Amino acid sequence: MLSRITLRQMEYFVTTAESGSIIIASEKIHISSPSISAAIAHMEEELHVQLFIRQHAKGLLLTEIGEQVKDACKVILAQSSDLYSMSADFTGIMRGKIKVGCFSAFAPFVYAEIIHGFANLYKQVDVEAVIDDHHNLTQELTKNTLDLALLYDLHIDENVINFTPLADLPPYVLLSETHPLAKHKAVTLEELAEYPMILLDMPYSNDYFLSLFRKNNLKPNIIDTCKYVDVIRSMVGNNIGYTILNVRPKSNLSNDGKKLVMVRISGDMRPMKIGIATPKNATLTNVQQAFSSRCQAFISNQYIPGMSVSYFSEAHIKNQKE
């Protein structure tokens, strides 16, 4: 009987079907691979069908009936979530599930106050957090597999995603304290172009940084790239090169203890905007609205969790006056 298949098993199956891999599904939902395998095997036994074709090179491929079961499970899971929302609207008790995304570059700053704080405040809400790059998060929003995401305003398709800006993060240059430009109050892109640069190589962010130079008909001297901010900060601390970033940690030290200096960039620099992104065709539940409200209460041009906002606000004001 279908009643012997649980909602949790359906969730494991759907995540695996959309990932094409039990290992990837395990990483996404933080459940062990054997538990996911057991859930899928149980469903196949109960339904007397084969849900996946297991190919060593290509991973898991859904069978024809597997596709149909996946679609049916997604409907059932959505309806179960609606039940919690319906009861919450009636009773005033916040409960249900929410799946939120957060861009990895600023997740270390906002996770504790925004995501963990929300889960701690509403203990009957099951909060699932997905930390990923900008491209993957926008893809998940497009597929309606995320309820909301904290993102930058980069490559947002307004036809399928709603974006509510919360705060501006102007770019700045990060230097070693021994760099020749470290004692400057401000630097120009022309000055920077002469020196070795380490590029934060994440989807969309990399093009944003390069566009600052393109706009001024300049080409930076890129000697290395990396997608991990902490690694880049250590490279900069050791004076391998400078970098340009937007997030502003409160610490002025790299992970290996080298002193770093933030210097503003002169001229009209387009800031990145942190904001809340939601699927355009989705109606927010009361749980999702509550999470969105928390984001709006905790992120603004006056305060961003974990960031040195006083410095960035001052730099931004100076930049606007210039």
Q: What residue segments make up the domains of the chain, in order of their start?
A: 2-75, 94-168+272-310, 171-265
Q: Length of the chain in residues, anyone?
A: 322
How many Å apart are CA 262 and CA 309, to the nearest integer?
A: 13
How many Å apart are CA 195 and CA 189, to the nearest integer?
A: 10
CATH code: domain 94-168+272-310 is 3.40.190.10
Spelled out in words, what is the top-level CATH class assigned to the domain 2-75?
mainly alpha
Contact status, residue 252 vs residue 233, Cβ threshold 8 Å: no
CATH code: domain 171-265 is 3.40.190.10
User: Is-same-fold flag (2-75; 94-168+272-310)?
Assistant: no
For 165, phi then psi, to 5°, come to -70, 145
pTM: 0.68
How many Å apart are CA 298 and CA 294, to the nearest integer?
A: 6
**What integer pLDDT is reported at residue 232 of this predicted model?**
96
Which stretches of the chain drop beneath a pLDDT of 50?
1-2, 310-322
Q: Give kind and range of the element (H or E) at residue 190.
A: helix 189-192
pLDDT tens for 129-155 read: 999 999 999 999 998 889 999 999 998
**What integer pLDDT is reported at residue 310 of this predicted model?**
44
The two beta strands, 243-245 and 260-265, are unpaired
